[in-house]
Amino acid sequence: MDVADLGLPVDVPSTALFTDQYELTMLQAALKAGTAERRSVFEVFTRRLPEGRRYGVVAGTGRVLDAVENFRFDAGVLGFLRERDIVDEATLEWLAGYRFSGDIWGYPEGEAYFPGSPIMRVEGSFAECVLLETVILSILNHDSAIAAAASRMSSAAGQRPLIEMGARRTHELAAVAASRAAYVGGFGSTSNLAAGFRYNIPTVGTSAHAFTLLHDRERDAFRAQVNSLGRGTTLLVDTYDVTEAVRMAVEVAGPELGAVRIDSGDLLLVAHRVRQQLDELGATRTKIIVTSDLDEYAIASLAAAPVDAYGVGTQLVTGSGHPTCSMVYKLVARAESADPKAPLVPVAKKSSGGKSSVGGRKWAARRLDADGVAEAEVVGLGTVPAELADRQLLVELVKGGDIVSREPLDVVRDRHTAARAALPLSATQLSRGEPVLATEYVAGRSGS
């Protein structure tokens, strides 16, 4: 469930300066040239997935909507721009009244995407759309990278729960966004209380090695924790000797001990030994949680181990080696004049070096085979073929400047589970490979 459903008093500051200076200098020049009000269409897409990845995950859409809603140039922001002489007074006057009044369409959050997928489409005047480029890309690139890593990890984990615990490995604000994205990708809880407060994600946590080291004896630390948190707590057993710690943990908490956590060593070997020892001590229901720089490959390697849950930090919040999705925000169509009735003209970058783009206002649909499994990402211009009409991917997010599609986070999370399940089975293989769906372009005229 999203915080919006809880009525929590969470204020989002102005996002107007979460941008690059050239967005404002382009605005100033366009205002002077008389082209700022031309109706324009921008699209977010990526030319390729991170090397070896088979699918991407759309995440951060809800945060984009918050950012657009709070993109306001208040007195303090305008004063900063004036003091730095970044734009002229005419532009400052225009910015003072800025409110996005256009339309935004996008893949629903949690959906899978592929190279060329028009993940988000922003429509309005050139002036109001160009200002949103940086903040939209900042959010989507970060959150989608984390969600993709989380999705691979949750697939590798199967039915075993995953705990996000990477706050100390990234920027404090990025940590909250990472928790949200991880939840979208399949994680079930977080150690980050700010994420729990902001997005109502379940939070967990017990103790670190420092708590054990604080006490004169490990037994004293275990007793203090059990007395405070109850027998169902999780005791960290690898500060000194794991075998001795497990024995003491069961002595202190009894067979009702909730779990033990292992944070170092050969996790596969240690987990088997700890499980055997717990069973011999009568703690057959005590669970084993493992942490220690896990990624999707380490999680997969523990599939046969008697592990009940995984805690993941560094590799998750850094996208497991791919901290960005290389998404871009490109102008694909614009009107011939400022006349609201002027037709749209497709435009595209044609430079060499793999950075060209496809012009025109696009639609996207996912074609299924006879068994209901996705077989192609179809992107086109103009009229959508009848056979794909009910398989379209873009949904309306903002209409006339008003947000029309806010969703609880659990709905987004469930959507991703369903979207991943609808892909070919090879999508969840961890070995390097090509995208599981090819992107097919359908020629046609651009919609007006």
Position of tokens 């046969």?
Answer: 304
Per-residue confidence band for 353, with pLDDT thresholds at 50, 70 and 90: low
Flag whether pLDDT at 153 surpasses 80: yes
- The size of the chain, in residues, is 448
Residue 3 is given by DSSP the state G
pLDDT digits (tens, 9 = 90+) for 114-146: 999 999 999 999 999 999 999 999 999 999 999
* Residue 141 contacts residue 432 (beta carbons within 8 Å): no
Per-residue confidence band for 220, with pLDDT thresholds at 50, 70 and 90: very high
Return the amino acid letter for 221. A
Pick 9 or 221 by higher pLDDT. Answer: 221
Which positions ≥6 away from 171 have C-beta within 8 Å?
Answer: none
Per-residue confidence band for 8, with pLDDT thresholds at 50, 70 and 90: very low
Return the amino acid letter for 364. A
Which pLDDT score, from 0 to 100, does residue 448 have? 46
pLDDT digits (tens, 9 = 90+) for 382-401: 999 999 999 999 999 999 99
Q: How far is residue 224 from each of residues 75, 175, 216, 372, 412, measured CA to CA in Å?
A: 53, 30, 12, 55, 40
Flag whether pLDDT at 447 surpasses 50: no
Which pLDDT score, from 0 to 100, does residue 444 have? 57
Pick 2 or 34 by higher pLDDT. Answer: 34
Per-residue confidence band for 204, with pLDDT thresholds at 50, 70 and 90: very high
Q: What is the mean pLDDT of residues 344-356?
A: 81
Please provide the average confidence, as pLDDT, over all residues in the chain.
94
Which pLDDT score, from 0 to 100, does residue 356 have? 74
pLDDT digits (tens, 9 = 90+) for 228-251: 999 999 999 999 999 999 999 999
* Residue 375 contacts residue 365 (beta carbons within 8 Å): no
* Residue 332 contacts residue 447 (beta carbons within 8 Å): no
Percentage of the chain beyond pLDDT 90 is 92
Q: What is the mean pLDDT of residues 92-98?
A: 98
pLDDT digits (tens, 9 = 90+) for 431-444: 999 999 999 998 75
Flag whether pLDDT at 49 surpasses 80: yes
Return the amino acid letter for 90. A
Measured at the alpha carbon of residue 415, what is the angle toward residues 409 and 418, in degrees to the nearest 5?
Answer: 150
Per-residue confidence band for 73, with pLDDT thresholds at 50, 70 and 90: very high
Parallel/antiparallel/unpaired status of strands 287-290 and 309-312: parallel
Q: What is the pTM of this model?
A: 0.93
pLDDT digits (tens, 9 = 90+) for 406-415: 999 999 999 9
The SS3 assignment for 131 reads: coil
Which pLDDT score, from 0 to 100, does residue 357 have? 81
Q: What is the mean pLDDT of residues 21-30?
A: 98
Residues 253 and 221: their CA atoms lie apart, in Å, by: 12
Which pLDDT score, from 0 to 100, does residue 12 have? 53
